[in-house]
Amino acid sequence: MLARVAVFLGICFSVLLAQIIFVQWLTIEDIRPDFILVLVLIAGRVKGRLFGQMVGFFMGLIIDAIGVGSYLGLSAFAKTVAGFAAGYLKGRKWRLNFYVHALFNFLVIVLHFSIFYFINFAGSELSIEYIFVRYILPSSFYTLVIFLIVDRLLSLEE
């Protein structure tokens, strides 16, 4: 049990490092993939809603606190929702076909970025359409690609 916790904390730490170090080279026109969100989605799918939202909340809080996110609590909020939603896939992945699975995760990712960007840009003069097309959709697709790659690699291991 303790070993599992240690492994999971190690994974969290590695993903955090990856988010801090590598994202600067993967950023395209201000759009960056969210490795933490990928971790939250996978945690939710594998361990369920409770675990997913807990991981989402704490990882989001850490990322907000160390200044990589935006307002303190914003990533925590968005990732809690994402972790909770991803938990619905627990035990269902193999019953869904690939496209439905990908679409569900895409919608969760869009929901996450919608919460994040709409609150982040609240009060700015940017229109909702602009925020959606300029930030939410590109970030969602970018993160979905990373998620699908990681998910595929994990499936191969399983």
Alpha-carbon distance 152 to 130, whole Å? 32
Rounded to a whole number of angstroms, the minimum distance from the CB of residue 44 to other proteins is: 11
Rounded to a whole number of angstroms, the minimum distance from the CB of residue 148 to other proteins is: 26
Q: Does 73 participate in binding other proteins (rule CB under 8 A)?
A: yes
Alpha-carbon distance 68 to 126, whole Å? 22
Rounded to a whole number of angstroms, the minimum distance from the CB of residue 38 to other proteins is: 18
Q: Which stretch binds other proteins (CB under 8 A): 31-39, 65-73, 96-104, 150-158?
A: 65-73
- In the complex with other proteins, the residue whose CB is nearer, 58 or 141, is 58
Name the burial class of residue 19, with classes exposed (0-12), middle (13-18) and buried (19+) by CB atoms within 10 angstroms of its CB: buried
Beta partners for residue 31, in sequence order? 28
Residues 6+ apart with CB under 8 A from 26: 32, 33
Site for other proteins in 79-138 (CB under 8 A): 80-81, 84, 87, 119
Beta partners for residue 28, in sequence order? 31
CA dihedral angle for residue 16, residue 19, residue 22, residue 25, rounded to 10 degrees? -170
Q: Which stretch binds other proteins (CB under 8 A): 12-20, 97-105, 135-143, 148-156?
A: 12-20
Q: Which stretch binds other proteins (CB under 8 A): 2-10, 30-38, 63-71, 134-142?
A: 63-71
Inter-residue contact 17 to 8 (CB < 8 Å): no
Q: Which residues bind other proteins (CB under 8 A)?
A: 16-17, 20-21, 24, 48-50, 53-54, 57, 60-62, 64-67, 71-74, 76-77, 80-81, 84, 87, 119
